[in-house]
Every structure is written in structure tokens, then in C-alpha cells.
Structure 1
Amino acid sequence: MLSLTRTFLRVLPLLFFVTGLFAQKVSTVPDYGLSFASHEVIKDQRTSLNLTPEAPFGFDNGFELSFNLSFHRLTNAYGYVVRIIANDSVNIDLLSSPEHSEFHDMGIIVNNKQTDIQYEFLDVKLQPALWTPVRIAFSPQTNQITVTWNGVKKTQAFPVSQLKTFRFFFGANDFGRFNTADVPPMSIKDVVLRDNDKVAAQWELKRHAVNEVYDSQKERVAFVKNPTWLIDQHTKWVHRKNFVIGKYPGVAFNGKDGILYASDVNGVYTLNLQHGEIQFEKITAGNAVHTDANQLLYVEQRHALINYDVFTNTLSHYNPERHTWTNHDTAYHEPNYWHNNKFYNAATGMLYAFGGYGFFSYKNAFWQYDTVAAKWVNLKTKGTIPPRYLGASGVTSKGDKVLIFGGYGSQSGKQELSPQSFYDLYTFDMNDHSVKKLWEFPEGHSTEDLVFSNSLVINEADSCFYVLSFPKNKYESHIKLRRYALRAPETEVLADSIPFRFHDEHSFCDLFLSRATNELVAVTAHKEKGQYKVDVYTINYPPLRTQDVQQQPVTASAAGYYVVLAFGIGAIVLFILLRKKSKAPAVQANIPVHDAAHDIDFLKNLHEEKPVATVNLFGGFQVFDKTGHDITGKFTMTLKELFALILLHSVKNEKGISTTELQEYLWPDKDEVSARNNRNVNIKKLRTLLEEIGNITIENNNSYLRLDIGPEVFCDYQAVFKILNADSSAVPENQKIELLLKYVKRGSLLPNLQTGWLDNFKSDISNRVIDALLAYSAKLDTYKDDKLLLDIADAIFNYDTINQEALVIKCSVLNKKGKYSLARTWYDHFVKEYKNLYAENYPKTFDDVIS
């Protein structure tokens, strides 16, 4: 191997001095809005938004419609931004017509006649993808229509006082003689209707159903055809590119410009995410290090690529103009620091490496490249990390500290001695070389041996980081994006999954943040027939869970629920009294007697408008204190699990859970004394938090811990459990189901808590909910009870995404309501999910499902 020249060694530190590395900001606010398909697709596939599908608005004293508007392009942009139909006979259109010589770029058209309200795009300084505010006001007092677009106000006289009802259509519409398929290439968001300066309805166009979106009060539904929801781009990975490279692959990323680099034995590939083009530069001299453990690093300010290997003491620099590497050693070397982590200090120009695997041993040494001696030096650190590989690392915003998370290894470093997955977080200070452990998940955190992408992305604004995870011991598997808290061992899965084949040195994956495109970038590679297939995926930043964007409609009015509640409570009370009269139940010592009055008070709290202490487990763990403030963030992962353990056992079994059982679940690796100490400390912390909630306490009866929930505190799991157990002869089934739907439609039980003991609770409640809903749905009429049936299907899908009975209900009802395309969309989505899960085609056709 040829060493770097002395001249290059002197300038190398400058390559790492990146003064503006963190100056480029990325948005931590999700994009949202509705994107409209325009002339690029056939008419049947263009987008429409109907704000008044059921009935028009009535405004006696005028109104104002406001929204934010963005054009995808300024050419071939003809179409109706919004069509307002008054009295079902007069059309007032905001029409885009930028390429017509007889019309302005944008203007108001009334009954097919131009008005004085006309704009040129230059008037409002319009640019593609720029959000601009639009306000359209109708004043019966002055008989004027006023439009204000990006601060430019224009007015037209019109007999507004004669107009009483109004319908609103964005894009295409099929309303009688006013129907149109001319849609401009646009996006809209934050639609607001004001009546006398009071908000009459507001659609953010953020959370949404499939082809419906409700206003902020969930009182008005708007129908959408062929939608593209911008916020969905934060929940779904997009497969951007795949290509094939040769031996000794390496991957690096230029976040500032959004460029991915991949190197192999033959050359360097560049993929520009901003325009999707990929280029290949063949090496004319030198080469990347010939080992599967080589790593590629991009240095931003100097546009420099560095290729290195710790074991062979190699560091090679790439010249993009000459297409050369400074390394000329062509001998193959077995990997010894395979899947190690890399990071550098921009202020000092020092390059570091940590961990790795090779020759049946896991590594935990920190290495620093000495630019003067031209070699890797083993650092002495203050503190250590257990040996590992397949962990993730990322540099903090100040550039002086590194987060090192997880991986697979062993305490001894020997592969033969109890290898395991690590779920712990450390910091490494690149100035004083100190190592500090921040937190660790308890043993048994995951039933799979999860490992992680080589890099993680830190979001300090939200006190979290993102990393890709996948099971180490599966070849055909899926990568999942996870969000971890910086201050405590808490995690949740985001977005959908990415297919991945993992086979040690023949596979790898990495995660990057593209500041140029505001996206997370996932890169996977696996070996096929002597070459590596590389796949690139992106998702808008910040990533979200699917449930973060789903909008569940209200299934009944508040008044309706009060009626149902009154009948339900009365029936329950009557049933309990009759049971007590006929037979007095035996009561075990030290076990609380079931109190009917407690149930009644508890149920009354469900519909109080004032803030109430609440514990929600369906759709995710969430806790509100007695003043209505969200205190979920105060629960660490251990306290969440402890709380859930005691609560679920207390609801299902009045004795609660034994202390022995509790210790076996939470601290199985501790001896009796340590486990008891951990239990006592955490129960004390939990009791402090329960005091903030209110009348909820932990009782200790003969080594059993039981949660006593007072009438001032509402728990959705407790409510669902009571509803499912209510005797059908005492509680009318329709009341029982409507109450049940109110809670289970939020989502499944504790979806973000993954632990073995919880599986039985999840399975039990899911089966009971699904069975109850399906049994009741069989008694309903498809036409008369269509809305209730759709609610039932949506609720079932929360618990079983490929439930075939729910699919039949959903598609049949939609089809009979005339929503054929929406039914087909649901069917296609189901078929795709079925294929992903079972690796086979769904046996029923769409016609079979709706028949």
C-alpha cells in the first residue's frame, strides 16, 4: 500500500474543517395540504374537493373564504382553483388561465363573464411551489366581491345580497351543469369559511380519511376524489432508484446538495435526489480499499470523498476531476472492522472510527486517524462501550459529540460468549474523548435481535433521533424506521417498512438527512451474483406514524351519545340490582368488591365538557392530569410499562398483579434484592405521577398490586372492558356497539409498546372487539346503516389490517353508495397489504368482494 504524500497529510485537516456544516436548516414542521392532479392525467383521475357534498352553506350577512394556494408549475395551468355556486344557479369562479392571450393569469369569472378582479402572476410575485394566501369575501352590505391574493386586494360590484346559499368546489366537480374537469396544477391547505368574522368551518387538509376530510370540529365532511395528501409523504417511503455496483461497495451522502455517492472496485456513482439523475465515473488510477469492511465518507466543504479501512491502516482520497484514488494497494483483505461507525470533528479535522466485527470477535476500540503519522491510532478513552457492530452513530449539531446507539455484540467481545443485541445510547466527546452512557432499555425489550443502520439522524428540536432497524437473524425481512427519545429509553415505529435482505457482509443499510430536499434517505444494498443491488428510498422530513395523519369521523352527535349513555347506565344499574337480589356473590378476603355506583360515576365522566383526568391506551399511551394537561412526556418507558402492567391486570383481574410476576416481567435479569429495589423506586415515582392525575392509587394487598381508579378519572381500556362484559339482555346491543365504537376507533391497544407480556392482552381485546363488531354488522342494513357499517369496518381495520370481513363491508357499502372508485381504492390497498404479509395474491376479485 502506498502512503499519502506529506503534502496531502498537511492539508487533510482542512478537508474536515466545515465551518458552515450546520448552517443549512431543515424544516421540522410536516408539509400538509391537498395536491391536485391536473392535465398530466386523464380527466377521470383529476382531483376535486367538494366542501358541501351534503348541503350548501347559508350566509345571510356575507362570508369570507380563505385558503393557502401553491402552483406546481406556471405553464399548462388552466383550470378552476375554486368554483362557488350560489343559489344553485350562479357560478363565481377563481379561474387560472396563464397562457390565454385574452385573459389574465388569474381572475374572477361570474356567470361566464370577466370581472375587474384580474391578476397577473407577477402582481403577486408568484413562483412555483410558493404558498400564497387567498381571501375571497362576499359582502351583502356593500354588494361587493373582494379578492385579496398575497396582499393584493381587488373588488367587483355584484348583487351579493340576492345570494343566500353557497356550494364550494376546488378543482374538478360533477355538480349538474356546472361540472368541469379543468384542474390547475395546484395544492391548497388551511381552508377557512368565516361568517361575520366567526369561523363557520375550517379544513386544515392535514389529517384525513381516505376520500373524506372533516373540518376542525368534525361537523362538516368534505369529499375528495383522486387525492394526493402532502402529509402522507411523511408516512410512506418512496422507492427513488435502484442500480447495481461491483465489489467492495461503500456509500456516503452529501446532505447539503442531496447527492448520494456509491463506490466500488470500478468507480464512483453519484445520484442527485433533486433531479433523480445517476452518473458513473470510471476510476482511471488507484482504487478503493479491497475489503468488504471499507467505509466511504463525504467531506462537505471541499466536496471530498474519503475511503478508509482501519485494519489495513488505509485512508484514500478521491479526486473527482481526475477520477483517481490515492490508494494503489490491490491485495484483498479479510474484513476485521466490519460495519464499524465513522464520524469526524469539523473543528479539529479529526476522523474517528468505532467498533466493528471480524475474526469471531466484536470490537469496542475508538480509532483516530493521525494525519502526520498517516496511520490509525487506538485512542485511550474515559469510559468504555461494550464491544459491538451493526450499531448507529450521528454527530450532534455542535459537532463535538457523537451519539452511538445499539448494535450486536457481547460484553467480552467474543462471539462464543453470550452475544446479544444492545439497546443503549452513549455519547462520545471528540474533544476530551470521554464516553458517557445516557440510557438503556431493560432486557427483553424486543423479542427479536434488532440491529441498526450505520448512521442515525438527530432531531434536537424534538429531543429525538431516527434510525433504521431490522432483525439480525432473518434473511428475508423488512427495515423499520424508529424514533427514539434522547433523554429516556422510549421508542416508536414510524412510516411503513422497506423490504430488505440481510446476510452479514453481503448486506448493509444506512440513513441520511438530505437538507437540500428536506427528506430522510434510506440506502440498502445486498449481494446478488457477485454484484450489489443498491436501493434508495426517501421520506419527507420529519417522518410520522400513519395514525398521526388519519382522521376518524364522529359517528354520532353528542346528544345522541347522551341518550345512548342514559339508556346504557340505566340498563346496567337494573341488571346489577336484579343480579344482587337473586344471588349474593361470594367475596374473597382482601379483594375489593365491585361497586356499581363507581361504574355509574365513572361513565358520567365520559361526556363532561370540562377537562377530565384521562388515561388512554387505545391508539397510543396518553395521560391527562386532573386539570386537563397532557403529562404523557413525564412517563419514562419503564414507568409506562409498569403503569400498563398494573392497570391492565387490575381491570381484567380485581386482584391485580403479584409483585413476583411484576419483577419477572420488568427485571428478569436482577436478583431478588435488586429487583425489589428497582420495583420500589419505580412504584414510588409512579405514585407521584398518579397524584397529578387525581383519584387513582396503587393498593398493595397480600403481595398483589392493584390500581384503584376513582370516578373522577377516565380510562378507555376500563370503559371498553366494561362495555364488552355488559350482559346483552340488560344493555341493548345497539347502545353497546355505539359506545364501543367511540373508543376502539382511535386505534389498537398500546400500539407503540412492544413487549411479550402484552401480547395476550392485545390479542384478547382485539378478538373480542372484532367479534362484537362483526356480529352486530351482520344485523345491519347496507343502505339504512351505511355510515355505521363504515365506522365498524374502519374500527376493525385498526386491529386487523387484512380482515376480509371488514373489506367486504367497506367495499360493499361504498359501492352501493355510488363510490365505486373509492371502493376500488380500498380493495387495491387491501390486496397490496395481503400480498406483503402472506407473499401470495388475495384470492377474491373486486367483483367477488362487492357482490
Structure 2
Amino acid sequence: MKGVWRLIEEFRTTLHYMLFRIGPILLILCNMAGARAQGIGFNGGHKPIDERTSIELFPEYQATFKHQLDIKFELGLTSANPTIGYILRIKNKQRATILNLHYDEENENAILRLNEEGKASIITLVMKKETLHNQRWFPVHIHLDMDQGKASLSANNMESLSSAAGLPKEYNPSIIFGKSDHLIDVPPVAIRNLWIGNTNESYFFPFREHAGTRVHEQHGVVMGNVSNPIWLINDSYHWKQTFEKASLTNAGSDYSAARNEVYYFNAEGMTIFNIKSGETKSVKFASSCPIRIVLGNSFVDEGAGKLYVYETFYDPPYSGPTLASLDLNTLVWTAESNDRVGLELHHHSSFFNNRDSSFTVFGGFGAMRYSNEFYTYSLLEHSWRTAKIKGDHIVPRYFSSAGQPMGDRDIVYLFGGMGNEAGKHIIGRKYFYDLYKLDLDKGEIRKKWEAPGEPIDFVPARGIVIPDSINMYVLGYPEHLTNSFIKLYRYDLTRGEHTILGDSIPIFSDRISTRAKLYYDHAQKKLVTLVQESPDDVRSTLKVFVLDFPPISEASLNALHKQSTTRAKLLDALLAFLLCTALILLIRKAQKPRPRDILPDSLPVEAPIQATGHKPNSVQLFGDFTVINRAGKDISHLFSLRLRQVFCLLLSKTGENGVSSQLLNYTLWPDKEKEKAKTLRGVTINHLRKVLSELSGVEIVFSKGHFRLVIGDECYCDYLECMRLVDELPEMRNQNEYLSILSRGKFLLGTDDIVFDKLKEETESKVIPMLLEDLRQSAKFNRPHKTIQIANCIFQFDPINEQTLSYCIKAKIQIKQEVKAHELYYRFSTDYQNVMAEKFAISFQDLLKKQYTSSD
């Protein structure tokens, strides 16, 4: 038996060598292929001192750099206001000499100074401030040559400057960005793509965190702490509202990417909002708009610097201008044409051709009919004509969307909408999710693909963004619901597959004049959405939302270590290769004669716990909020934040009488009047019922003023299953079953809204005592692998539970994982200090000696 034990030990040793000597080299290559940096913003001098950002790297870890040290990162200026402050400090743990990098602005210049702190400025770089503000990011590089005693600084690809500096022979640095000790002047800037190292040792920080106070290097190892961060990845997921304005009369809206300006206009005046500077100005026209604004359709000719406003139809007896232009420099109106299409074309799509100065509209609805005609207006001839397009037939429709690829303005894509083959509104309508490609040179249209329908039908908003030859981005919302949400969809241009990105934008879509439009600001790398809502087709409110490009999904936001499918396959292949190689070496060694001996008694090894997988007709609340319909399709994206709130409130009362109408109103709409809250409640419940109809055995019942969620046996809900297991006697409880549920992650992971707090607290108050009791029993009966499994679950709920730490490190040492035990202790101590604002007082050795009882 000892021979078998020795073979196992040799296999473990060989595999350890393969994983920890060869594996990291290949793993680095995989990480480099899959990494995409985001960045971190600084709260600067505009905030109180204790709210300013501070990032400390290598506070505990002993990084050592000999001969040379390079610090490279990209810097972004995030404020148009004058900016001054310290960007970073470079401390050496073994020496008092400190270097700092300071940013300042003087007149039209931006100045970077590398200082030997308390002595002198050793390098000064002067750049044009306007140039840096026009760029979103620019590179900065600090090079320290310890052998030569020189420091170099370069920025924005300028030639680097060097100077003598008092440098040590080697650096054990502590690098702090932002506020540090007595240096409290912090500029409102942002950094990304931070690289620290030399040819022998290096660290890359992509700053892909979305929350918390830890800083991870590219492999997910914690290498620093941060206070008051602005995690920029959130700006790629959460739409940020930047502007809101109301008009009492008919109005229109548009956006100029060249000028970074939003225009919200009516007949008498206009409000201009600059999304880059945040500045707003309102102007009154010297003379009113020449046309009578009804719907306020518009487009911008960026080359000419003009905003065009048009109407395709007027009720008699109007006979005045139908199209006018506004010079965006002088704000003077010009009547351009009295010609008109003569048809109501509500919610048509449109595009501008700057090659021949023409503007084309497609589709639309009016007089109970849908259109599939193309009407083109010539800015040179001041007239409309029906464009003759050959090729594939396109069904009459409205609510379609149009867009042009950034690199090919001769191509136009048309997507989606709703209508029917006959073009008659009275026979009903069908939602389309198809894509057509229109070649302007050939005057030919071809169908690319048609995607399957959605669980909840939606129409695309105006404007398709096509930044490359692979993907297109469209906004979609269910226009048939009074209060709904706009979502961003990324479609594959070739296959029609799509992904939902970002969170949602609310929209009130009760009136025909309500609309939304999507734009892409290439220079700022931002998606811009204009939502214009009307309660009566006269008054309106414009809201502007921005999202950093490229946008990300909810899964990407919440999963720091989640990598692309390609990387996952590479890692699978890597692991398979290492295992096979280790087995081959083991077999070769096994063929050699071995002295016989006796195998010592071994500890029981537990099978690894597999997290509960996705099942058809299921609801899972541990980990990512996941709902799979009866057909096995993930419909989680249909649950907006509000629907999740209502669902969880009802779920928490499934064993009782349900939730009263008054409690729903008070919890979700505390600031609304009774009738308004009642309306919102009715819309939300109806919407939730429609989404839940995708599941079998789930319904919302209303009785005696209470809403109750009924979930039958045919629908699996991990929360209900976990609560059932909690209520069972310990000796009857299926431990592996509840561990597989809890292994998915923390309850309602990533949902930080206050509405969920009570349910989270109630759940954790039931789950944690159960886990702690099973943890003690597992340790008592000498099952170290099971102890570690249970401890890992507890840490998801309570990451600074001292008792769990003690049991877990004892179990790791018991199975010869001393290094991992020390790593766990270090991570725990860091978490503890971050949460409790004081150091963890119990040493590693003292934890090994501690004994706990059920009352602890």
C-alpha cells in the first residue's frame, strides 16, 4: 500500500511543478489575450478631504525591483475646470526618499512635474491643455534607473526628459495614487492600464473592479487597497442621466457628435447641452421657426453645421414651409422648402447621405396604414421624391431603425419594426427582428437575416450604431406598455445573434410623439440616448443618458475573473495538457521497482460540491439572479430592477398571506400619491405576471387586498428549497444539497437596493447558524475537506467570521495546504481591516490554538 501512496505523492509533486512552474507562463498569455482594462476615477479637490480618492499598491506584498523600475499608465482629465494636485507618490519601504508626480494648469498649458519630495522639482513637462482635454486618455511613463541614479518622465508621446535623482540601489515600493498622508490635493483625473515593473518582475492593473476597496492585478490577486474610488467599469454598464428639460409646446431634439451638443428646441427657442463639458445654455430665437412644429422630426448636417427640422404631413388648411434649417453658429432660421411627402409617417426611420446632400425616410404609420416606401429629400433641389429601390421585398412597417457603418457611408442597415404584409393596420401587426442592407450606390436592398421573436416583443428606437464590421447596437423597448424600459442590444451583423448590454432606461410610451434615439460619439467613446416623452402630444420632456463604449453585460460587470470563451477553452486545454503530462511521468516512474511498505491511515476525501446548475423552469436567487423558462431559455434580462423588487417581496411572503397593496405602495413608491402609486403598482404587477407566464406552476394571486406568489412543485426555486432544508433537523438535512445551492454565490449577488436588505438579512440569519453548526460538526468528526467546503460558503455571507477562519486554516493544515492556509489568513486580515478600520488582532498561531463552542 505504501507504493500506491508514494505514487500518489509523486503525481501530486509532478502536477504541482507543472501547474506552478509551467502553468503560470501559459496562464499569463491567456490573461493578456482576454484582459480589457476599464479604469478608476479620482474624487478630487471638489470633495471633502475624507472623501478624496487614495490608491495604495503593495501595502503588504514585498515587491522588489533592482536596476530599473518603470511605471506606465494612461491618464484622463475628467473635468473641464482648472485642475491641480498630486497624481502619485513613489515611496521606498527601506528609505525615506519619496518621489511624487504633480499636475497643474497655467493659462493654456498643462504641467506635469516629477518631484523629489521636500527638495526640488527634477523634471517638468509642459503640454497644451486643450490637446489633453480633447483626448480621452494619454500615456504617462516614469522610468527610474537605479544604476545610473537618473529619473525620466514622458507624457502624451513627447520625448522623455531625464534628470539626476537620489535613487536607492533597489526599490521595495509602496506606490500611492491620489491622497497620501499630508498630501491632500487630488486632481479629478482617471487612470487605467497601469503597468509597474522591469524586465524581471512586473504587475499589470486593469482596474476592472466595479465595487469594493481592493485592487487586483490582472490574475485576480489582491495587490492594493483603495478608498473612495470611482470604478469606471460602471460607466460601461449603468446608463447615466446627464440632462433633463421640459417644453410646454411641441418640440424636437437631436445631437451633434462633432460638437458634443444636444439640441432641444421648440418654435421660440432652444436649450443646448454639451455632454463633454456639462454646460447648458438656453437661447431665444431672433425669429420663430418658419415651420409649424408638430412632431419636430429633425436631422443634423455636421459638415454644414445645420440642424434641419421637417414635417411630412399637415392637416389642411396649412400651406406654409414644411422644412427649415437652423444655422448652429448664428442660430438663424431659414425656410428651405414648402414641398411635402403628404403622408403621416409616424415613427419612420431615416438617414442622411452627406455625399449627395440628401435625406431619406423609410416606413412609418398614418391613416391606418403602414408604409414600405423610401422618400428622399434633396437639400440642393429643396424637394421630396420617391426613391426607387430594387432587390428584396420589405414588409410595410413602422418603428424600424436605420444606421450607417462608420467606415462605409454608402451602406445603410434597416432593422426591425412592426407591421404586416398588407400594410393595413386593421388586420393586426407583427413584430419584426430582421436586418436589411441597402447599397446606396446600387439602389439595391438585400435581406441579411431574420432573428426569432422575443418573449416580450419590442420595437427598436431610432438610430443604429455600427462601429465596426462585426456588431451593431440598437435600443429596444415594448412600446405597448405605458411604463417600460429601454434596453441596449448588440446584434451580430452576420448571424443575427444578440446580447443585452448595460442596465435599462425607463420610458413613458403612451403617446405617439414619444421617441428615443441612439447616437455614438466616437471621439468621446460614448453612446448617447435621447428620450423625449410626451403626456399629450404637445408638452414634452427630454432626458439625456450616456454610456461608455464599449458597453458590457451584467455578467461582465459582476464577474471580475470571468474571461472570454476563448480563454476558457485555452485554460481547459492547458489543464488537460498538464494532467496528461503529469500522468505520463507518473506511469514511467511506476514502472520502476519500489520497496514495499505500509500505507498510513488516510483522511476521508469529500467529492467537490458542484454549484446548482441552470434547470428549465427554475428561479435561482443565490449568485446571479437567474430565471430559466420552461423551454430552457434564460429570461433573466426580462426582470428589471423593479420587477425583481416586487418578485422578491412576494417570494419572501410565500408561506404567509402575501403582501398587502399598502405595503407594496409604501415600499416601492413611498414618494408617490395614492392614485399614482396604485397605477404604477398595477402596471408593474401586470408586467411581472406576463414575464412569469414563461414559467409553469408560477402565478400571482390577489385576494383580500393581498398579492401572493404561488410556486408549484414543477417550478424549482433555490431560495424555497434552501429554506426547506434550513427547517429540517440537522441529522435529516441533505448537506450536499444546500451546499450546492449556496456554492452559486451570495444571496441576491450584486443587488444592493435597499428593498432587498430585509430579505437578505432574514435569509442570512437563517443560513449562517445552520452553516456554523455543520462546520463545528464537520471539524469534530475529522472531515477537513467538508470543513473547507462549508467555510467557503460561510465566507460568502460573512467574510470576516473569525470562527470560520480558525476552522478553515486548521483543516487546510490538516490536508497539507499550509501555504493556502497562510494566504487565507492574509486575505482575511486585509478584509477585516477594510471593514472594521482596525487590524485583525489574533495571530495565525493563536487561531490554531483557539477552541469554540456552539455558544460562540
| TM superposition score category, shorter chain reference | 0.5 to 0.7
For 1:440, the aligned partner's letter is E
Query: Aligned residue for 1:273?
Result: 275
Of residues 518, 521, 531, the one that matches 2:525 is 518
1:577-603 alpha-carbon deviations (Å, 9 max, x no partner):
xxxxxxxxxxxxxxxxxxxxxxxxxxx
For 2:52, the aligned partner's letter is R
For 2:242, the aligned partner's letter is R
Query: Aligned residue for 1:835?
Result: none
TM-score, normalised to structure 1, is 0.61
Of residues 339, 358, 367, the one that matches 1:359 is 367
CA distance in 2, matches of 1:375, 1:125: 43
Query: Aligned residue for 1:216?
Result: 218
How far residue 510 of structure 1 moved from its aligned partner, in angstroms, is: 0.9
How far residue 487 of structure 1 moved from its aligned partner, in angstroms, is: 0.9
SS at match of 1:170: strand
Query: Aligned residue for 1:317?
Result: 324
SS at match of 1:337: coil
CA distance in 1, matches of 2:208, 2:140: 17
For 2:297, the aligned partner's letter is Q
Q: Contact conserved, 2:55 with 2:224, CA < 8 A, in 1?
A: yes
CA 1:518–1:368 in structure 2 vs 1: closer, same or farther (change >3 Å)?
A: same
For 1:447, the aligned partner's letter is P
Gaps of 5+ in 2: 1-34, 578-602, 615-621, 639-690, 699-710, 731-738, 765-794, 803-828, 837-856
For 2:449, the aligned partner's letter is W
Query: Aligned residue for 1:225?
Result: 227
Query: Aligned residue for 1:539?
Result: 547
Of residues 452, 455, 469, the one that matches 2:463 is 455
How far residue 489 of structure 1 moved from its aligned partner, in angstroms, is: 1.3
Query: Aligned residue for 1:255?
Result: 257
1:144 aligns with 2:118: no
Query: Aligned residue for 1:82?
Result: 89
CA 1:431–1:183 in structure 2 vs 1: closer, same or farther (change >3 Å)?
A: closer
Of residues 380, 404, 407, the one that matches 2:414 is 404
Query: Aligned residue for 2:45?
Result: 39
How far residue 32 of structure 1 moved from its aligned partner, in angstroms, is: 3.2
Deviates more, 1:358-367 or 1:266-275: 266-275
How far residue 456 of structure 1 moved from its aligned partner, in angstroms, is: 1.2
How far residue 94 of structure 1 moved from its aligned partner, in angstroms, is: 1.2
Query: Aligned residue for 2:102?
Result: 96
CA distance in 1, matches of 2:193, 2:45: 24
1:427 aligns with 2:437: yes
Q: Contact conserved, 2:210 with 2:232, CA < 8 A, in 1?
A: no
How far residue 230 of structure 1 moved from its aligned partner, in angstroms, is: 3.2
Query: Aligned residue for 2:142?
Result: 135
CA distance in 1, matches of 2:573, 2:236: 27
How far residue 532 of structure 1 moved from its aligned partner, in angstroms, is: 0.5
For 1:240, the aligned partner's letter is T
CA distance in 2, matches of 1:747, 1:419: 33
Q: Structure 2 matches for 1:238-253, cutoff 5 A?
A: 238-253=240-255
Query: Aligned residue for 1:387?
Result: 396
Of residues 282, 287, 312, the one that matches 2:285 is 282
How far residue 752 of structure 1 moved from its aligned partner, in angstroms, is: 8.4
CA 1:521–1:815 in structure 2 vs 1: closer, same or farther (change >3 Å)?
A: farther
Over aligned residues, Cα RMSD in angstroms? 4.9
SS at match of 1:494: strand
Query: Aligned residue for 1:349?
Result: 357
CA distance in 2, matches of 1:468, 1:123: 38
Query: Aligned residue for 2:173?
Result: 166
How far residue 337 of structure 1 moved from its aligned partner, in angstroms, is: 1.0
CA distance in 1, matches of 2:66, 2:719: 47
CA distance in 2, matches of 1:625, 1:395: 35
1:136-156 alpha-carbon deviations (Å, 9 max, x no partner):
4363xx373534334424354
Q: Contact conserved, 2:250 with 2:539, CA < 8 A, in 1?
A: no
CA distance in 1, matches of 2:202, 2:625: 29
CA distance in 1, matches of 2:718, 2:506: 32
Q: Contact conserved, 1:35 with 1:228, CA < 8 A, in 2?
A: yes
Query: Aligned residue for 2:502?
Result: 495
For 1:497, the aligned partner's letter is S
CA distance in 2, matches of 1:524, 1:92: 51
How far residue 407 of structure 1 moved from its aligned partner, in angstroms, is: 0.9
Q: Contact conserved, 2:210 with 2:234, CA < 8 A, in 1?
A: no
1:42-62 alpha-carbon deviations (Å, 9 max, x no partner):
111111112124333245676
How far residue 345 of structure 1 moved from its aligned partner, in angstroms, is: 2.7
How far residue 535 of structure 1 moved from its aligned partner, in angstroms, is: 0.8
CA 1:127–1:453 in structure 2 vs 1: closer, same or farther (change >3 Å)?
A: closer
How far residue 550 of structure 1 moved from its aligned partner, in angstroms, is: 4.6
Query: Aligned residue for 1:67?
Result: 73
CA 1:50–1:398 in structure 2 vs 1: closer, same or farther (change >3 Å)?
A: same
How far residue 385 of structure 1 moved from its aligned partner, in angstroms, is: 1.3
Q: Structure 2 matches for 1:344-743, cutoff 5 A?
A: 344-369=352-377, 374-377=383-386, 379=388, 381-396=390-405, 397-442=407-452, 445-461=453-469, 463-528=470-535, 530-552=538-560, 732=606, 735-736=608-609
CA distance in 1, matches of 2:723, 2:609: 10
Deviates more, 1:495-504 or 1:543-552: 543-552
CA distance in 2, matches of 1:125, 1:303: 22
For 1:50, the aligned partner's letter is E
How far residue 360 of structure 1 moved from its aligned partner, in angstroms, is: 2.2
Deviates more, 1:381-390 or 1:268-277: 268-277
SS at match of 1:121: strand
TM-score, normalised to structure 2, is 0.60
SS at match of 1:421: strand
CA 1:411–1:49 in structure 2 vs 1: closer, same or farther (change >3 Å)?
A: same
Q: Contact conserved, 1:316 with 1:326, CA < 8 A, in 2?
A: yes
CA distance in 2, matches of 1:99, 1:392: 45
For 1:344, the aligned partner's letter is F
SS at match of 1:736: coil
Query: Aligned residue for 2:808?
Result: none
For 2:393, the aligned partner's letter is T
1:540-564 alpha-carbon deviations (Å, 9 max, x no partner):
23323244355536xxxxxxxxxxx
1:83-118 alpha-carbon deviations (Å, 9 max, x no partner):
31413x625231427599xxx9623335x444x733
How far residue 270 of structure 1 moved from its aligned partner, in angstroms, is: 3.4
CA 1:211–1:769 in structure 2 vs 1: closer, same or farther (change >3 Å)?
A: farther
CA distance in 2, matches of 1:620, 1:225: 30
CA distance in 1, matches of 2:833, 2:534: 41
1:697-728 alpha-carbon deviations (Å, 9 max, x no partner):
xxxxxxxxxxxxxxxxxxxxxxxxxxxxxxxx
CA distance in 2, matches of 1:99, 1:311: 54
Query: Aligned residue for 1:674?
Result: none
How far residue 357 of structure 1 moved from its aligned partner, in angstroms, is: 0.9
Q: Contact conserved, 1:737 with 1:773, CA < 8 A, in 2?
A: no
Query: Aligned residue for 1:560?
Result: none
For 1:189, the aligned partner's letter is R
- Provide the identity percentage: 18
Q: Contact conserved, 2:36 with 2:206, CA < 8 A, in 1?
A: no
CA 1:747–1:257 in structure 2 vs 1: closer, same or farther (change >3 Å)?
A: same
Q: How many residues align?
A: 605
For 1:348, the aligned partner's letter is D
Q: Contact conserved, 1:773 with 1:792, CA < 8 A, in 2?
A: no
CA 1:213–1:42 in structure 2 vs 1: closer, same or farther (change >3 Å)?
A: same
Query: Aligned residue for 2:126?
Result: 121
Query: Aligned residue for 2:642?
Result: none
1:158-188 alpha-carbon deviations (Å, 9 max, x no partner):
4724x67432222224xxxx56534344333
Gaps of 5+ in 1: 1-28, 554-617, 631-692, 695-728, 780-787, 825-851
For 2:505, the aligned partner's letter is I
Q: Contact conserved, 2:431 with 2:459, CA < 8 A, in 1?
A: yes
CA 1:372–1:302 in structure 2 vs 1: closer, same or farther (change >3 Å)?
A: closer
